[in-house]
Amino acid sequence: MGEPPSDCSPLISAASSGKLRLVRLLVEGGAQVNGCNPRGETALLAACKALRGEPAGPETVKLLTYLLQNKADPNAQDRAGRTALMYACMERAGAQVASTLLAAGADPSMEDYSGASALVYAINAQHQPTLKVLMDACKARGRDIIIISTEVGVNGGPVTRHYLNVPPSPDTSPVPCMSPSDIVLKTSSPNSPEGENVFNFRGPGE
């Protein structure tokens, strides 16, 4: 985990440093679990953001679980509109972290202020296990997911590919070249019109 910023509260600092014992002491002492710093980060958000591309170990999962059990809001958004689940996907924290957040009520369809959600961050991070967990969570809610992505074909030109309820293949798509404006996710359910656009990752102004 990274070094906590100097303007953090003691709880946010402890969470971003992965110090479970200190987090427990602070929460038991009355610290506000959903209190935030000037960037809008709660302890849960800061803990996920601080992973810095490191797969989360058992202690990190325990820390997140403890915060969630003490009513940390899994859908709290920072000043950029990002949630703990989004940061977990961006930092490749792993499927177990994503599952922990989803089980506590994290919404995989929430968008940040750029119009991207945890799904698009998981695609761009090329982390198939996490993406599968997110897609399974959407399907459990009765949603079929269509990923429409613009990729680079074998001849170097742009190719549009469609994926139904499966993630893009890392063997055939150079996912790092994607941006939110290159990916559209559509969902449909028995109670909504076919092709309803629930996830739309077009860039601003498109």
Query: Residue 111 phi/psi, 5° resolution?
Result: -110, 145
Angle in degrees, 0-180, between the axes of helices 128-140 and 95-103, rounded to the nearest 10:
20
Poorest-pLDDT segment among 30-34, 149-153, 184-188, 194-198:
194-198
pLDDT, one tens digit per residue, over 53-100 is: 666 788 899 999 999 999 999 999 999 999 999 999 998 999 999 999
Residues 6+ apart with CB under 8 A from 44: 15, 33, 64, 67, 68, 72, 73, 74, 76, 84
> How much is the pTM?
0.76
Q: What's the CATH superfamily of 10-201?
A: Ankyrin repeat-containing domain (1.25.40.20)
Is the CA virtual torsion 199, 201, 205, 206 positive or negative?
negative
User: Could you give the count of Cα atoms lying within 13 Å of 175 in the half-sphere of its Cβ?
Assistant: 17
pLDDT, one tens digit per residue, over 158-172 is: 776 656 556 666 555
All structural domains of the chain with their residue ranges: 10-201
16 compared with 4, residue with greater pLDDT: 16
202 compared with 139, residue with greater pLDDT: 139
44 compared with 195, residue with greater pLDDT: 44
pLDDT of 185 reads: 54
State the Cα–Cα distance between residues 57 and 152, nearest whole angstrom.
35
